[in-house]
Structures are given as structure tokens and as C-alpha cells.
Structure 1
Amino acid sequence: GRKNWLFAGSDKGGERIADILTIIETAKQHGLNPEVYLTDVLTRVQDHPTDRLEELLPWQWAPAKDLHEAA
């Protein structure tokens, strides 16, 4: 991976990339589409109750109901 991390910018940048890749791979291991998972979680996390953040972890995550279904 040394050449792949060449443009991380700094040690902190490399750590951030590693964190994101860990989340992506964990989502894959749980049979999730990482793009769908991250899009949903990043959309919801700001308004999600802090005492229920574990619901957004890949092994407990359930997608938000489609707003079009409610209409």
C-alpha cells in the first residue's frame, strides 16, 4: 500500500483513509453496499440521537424508510 498512500498528504491523512477503508470493508463484510450504507448514515447521523448511535453501525444498520413510500 505504500504507493497508494503517497498522496494522503500527512500521517493524519493516512489515518483518515485507513478509517474510511475500515468502515467500507466492514460494511462489505456484513453484505451491505458501502455507497448506500455511507450515504444513508451520513445523511442521518447529525439528527440521530446520540444514545442510539450504535444503530448506525454496519452490523445493526437498517436503511431509513424511503420518503416516497410515506407519500
Structure 2
Amino acid sequence: MSAKSPTGQALKYIVKYWDGLILFLTDGRVEMDSNAVKRTIRPIALQRKNALFAGHDAGAQNWAMLASLIETCKLNQSEPHSYLTSVITAIINGHKQKGIDQLLPWKFKG
């Protein structure tokens, strides 16, 4: 079989990514499919057209960062409004930049 045939190309792809393709078999943290990710990004994808009217690139980038934070909160069972209120309050009150890791959504206790 030629390596350039469609089947040869498919086999080459499988060999190249084999370790990643079977990772879910040895690591229980890795899901077998990407359904959870698809469910998570679906609201963002549905709002993509709204980002066209962000006004400018910086507005769209800010919207994307905020949407990412909100979805990350949801994935970590944190209420987004409480999280954002707490983080903004901490920053206003002088939270040190070197301790920024403590403000990440998965470390939020609230």
C-alpha cells in the first residue's frame, strides 16, 4: 500500500497521534469524547455574531476573555457573578500581582 494513498495517509495519522488517541484508556481524567467541551463552547459559538458588533477589536477581545472566565467558572461549579465580584474587589483592594494564581476560577471558594 502506498503511503500517499488515502488509507496510507489515515494510517500515518493514526501512528503519529496514537499516544494521544489512547490516553483516555490510562488516565481517568481524560474523557473519551469531546462532548463536554462542545457543550461548553456552544453558547460562545452562538454569540459569535454578537461579537461582530463589539465596536472594535479590543471590545471583542475583552468580550472573549470575559466569556472564557464565565464558562471556566461554570466548569468549576463557581457562580460567575460571585466570582467576578470577588476578583474585582480583591484587585481594587490591592491584591498582589504575584498572588494572581489565587484569583483563578478553580481556586475560588465562594
Question: The TM-score by the shorter chain falls in which range?
Answer: 0.7 to 0.9
SS state of the match for residue 100, structure 2?
helix
Gaps of 5+ in 1: 64-71
Q: TM-score, normalised by structure 2?
A: 0.52
Whether 2:87 is the aligned partner of 1:44: answer no
In 2, Cα distance between the equivalents of 1:52 and 1:12?
26
Determine which structure has more spread, i.e. the larger CA radius of gyration.
2
Deviation at 1:6, TM superposition (A): 3.3
| Paired residue total | 62
Contact 2:74 2:80 in 1 (8 A): yes
Q: How far apart in 2 are the matches of 1:24 and 1:56?
A: 13
TM superposition shift of 1:53? 1.1
Partner of 1:56: 103
Greater relative contact order (CA < 8 Å, ≥ 6 in sequence): 1
Identity %: 37
